[in-house]
Structure 1
Amino acid sequence: MVIFTWKNIQRLLLWLLAFSVVVIVSIAMHPASVNSKEIAQASGSKPLIVLVHGTNADATSWQHVIPLLQKNGYTVTAVQNPLTSLSDDIAMTKRVIDVQKGPVVVVGHSYGGNVITSAAAGNPRVKALVYIAGFAPEPGESTSELNSRYAPPPLAEALIADAAGFLYIDREKFHEVFAQDVSPAEAQVLAVTQKPPAKTIFEQSVDKAAWKTIPSWYLVSQEDRSINPELERFMAKRIGAKTTEIKASHVAYISHPKEVANLIIEAATSAVK
């Protein structure tokens, strides 16, 4: 049984005071180790990467690029857009961008370029845009309008609409018009798993353009049979993008993932300087 006399209380208070002094002195002697760790974590942070797929594909089509980015220390999120309307896809992508904790680099392939052009607009945390053979429209400009500027690519003759107005690429022509530099086996899987867009999305337009205020990079696919390469060059020049060209099909991010990952890393590196 402990009797709390005044002497015992004095001893307890003296012990607590001595313990507090030891703790304070210890912290004072080692502030650098604590702060340096925090500083290292902050300085070593990298932008988060958000990947946006195009039509007749889904988020898993980035599967060759994602591991390369992760290997280089990047946190990656691939958006799964519904392709039901441009506004739906913009809203979905914007939600994904908004939940990222830190600076962001947004990447769009093909129609995904339309999506990122609007979804990233006005967001100060988006530091760079990367278009992979992607559409980069002006506000009020539809995909159909852009396509009409140049000779139609082979893809235009390979689209089949279902009863609900969603567009599929003819499986027999898929390899030839969409992914001719991908192995036949992989192209067959892509054809079977293609995610069709609503036909109406090609007539819809964005109301703002992020590339007007955010630095942009553009990869032109020289052998693209889904978007005329001349249109890609036109858009890249118009938005003032840092442009790279590659001898590839429409899906360069599948057939040449290293080159695509390197371009994204280049944009991400520039974004944090």
Structure 2
Amino acid sequence: MSIGNVSAVLVHGAWADGSSWSKVVERLKAHGINAVAAPLPLTSLHDDVAALNRTLERIEGPVVLAGHAYAGAVIGSTRADSVKALVYVAALAPAEGETVGDVFYRGEAHPLAPKLSPDQHGLIWLPEEAFAAAFAQNATAQELTVLGAVQRPISVSCIGEPVERPLWTDRPSWFLSAEQDRMISPDTQHFMAQRMNARVHSHQVDHTPIVTAPDVVTDVIVEAVQAVSTR
């Protein structure tokens, strides 16, 4: 199997959309890897997994599935046979019976982390100032403007559903640990990666390296694709 036969499916997290992966998509294409950004409704974990599965159904051949932040719970909840490896980018990886909230709030919050609470519709929005303070502190002013403008809220339902047996117990996984993350504690990322037995790449990047350090993210995904293509 050649590297070009393996597709990468990229899954966005909370307060983002598929465009957050645009720089990584371009770089993967330069490596000859087909990449698709899967859109999530962010209405419940169940809904998001169903949406991911619809994207996976459209893709022929083996897939490396990459998730950023909240999307770690989503990629771990699919049962698609086409998925041959998982890549977690500063992502949450709840174990069986845990919720996203359990792992997100496991460690002590960074002093600049935003205080999050749902609105009257049960939706959690990221405060505008939090993009520069914690979500992507290494982003340019232009990147921050776009991140704030396209943000999509996440439902409380997404973070309260216990997950079933996660796919990372049965598939090889990679974990990009963001050492400057102010949203998800680096200590929590190390904890999750270790219990997953993931191949860990630690980098001095912020919570959103898919925007601020796309080369680093691309390298990890390419490594996973190469590993799958040689099996």
Question: What TM-score bracket applies, with the shorter chain setting the length?
Answer: over 0.9
Aligned residues: 230
Counterpart position of 1:224: 181
Alignment partners' CA distance in 2, 1:154 and 1:78: 32
1:156 deviates by 5.1
Counterpart position of 1:186: 143
Contact 1:252 1:260 in 2 (8 A): yes
Q: Which stretch shifts more, 151-160 or 257-266?
A: 151-160
Q: Establish whether residue 53 from structure 1 lines up as the match of residue 12 from structure 2.
A: yes
Alignment partners' CA distance in 2, 1:244 and 1:186: 24
Alignment of 1:33-72 (within 5 A): 43=2, 45-72=4-31
Q: Post-superposition, which runs of at least 4 consecutive aligned residues in structure 1 deviate over 4 A? A: none
1:232 deviates by 0.4
Counterpart position of 2:34: 75
Alignment partners' CA distance in 1, 2:53 and 2:104: 25
Task: Tell me: CA distance 1:241–1:43, structure 2 relative to 1, closer, same or farther (3 Å).
Answer: closer
Alignment of 1:124-273 (within 5 A): 124-154=81-111, 157-273=114-230
Task: Tell me: CA distance 1:43–1:146, structure 2 relative to 1, closer, same or farther (3 Å).
Answer: closer
1:84 deviates by 0.4
Task: Tell me: CA distance 1:126–1:44, structure 2 relative to 1, closer, same or farther (3 Å).
Answer: closer
Alignment partners' CA distance in 2, 1:220 and 1:117: 17
Instruction: Give 1 or 2 for the bigger CA radius of gyration.
Output: 1
1:155 deviates by 6.5
Amino acid at match of 2:178: S
Amino acid at match of 1:197: I
Amino acid at match of 2:37: A
Amino acid at match of 1:148: Y
| Candidates 90, 95, 104, aligned match of 2:49 | 90
Normalised TM-score (structure 2): 0.94
Amino acid at match of 1:61: S
Can you give the 5+ residue segments of structure 2 that lack an aligned partner in the other structure?
A: none
Normalised TM-score (structure 1): 0.80
Contact 1:154 1:226 in 2 (8 A): no
Alignment partners' CA distance in 2, 1:245 and 1:74: 23
What secondary structure is seen at the aligned counterpart in 1 of 2:76? Answer: helix
CA deviation digits over 1:148-177, x for unaligned, max 9? 331123565343532212111111232111
Alignment partners' CA distance in 2, 1:181 and 1:200: 30
Contact 1:160 1:170 in 2 (8 A): no
Higher relative contact order (CA 8 A, sep 6+): 2
Counterpart position of 2:74: 115
Alignment partners' CA distance in 2, 1:238 and 1:77: 28
What secondary structure is seen at the aligned counterpart in 2 of 1:250? Answer: coil
1:96 deviates by 1.1
Amino acid at match of 1:235: M
Alignment partners' CA distance in 1, 2:164 and 2:58: 22
Superposition CA RMSD, Å: 1.5
What secondary structure is seen at the aligned counterpart in 1 of 2:10? Answer: strand
Contact 2:114 2:130 in 1 (8 A): no
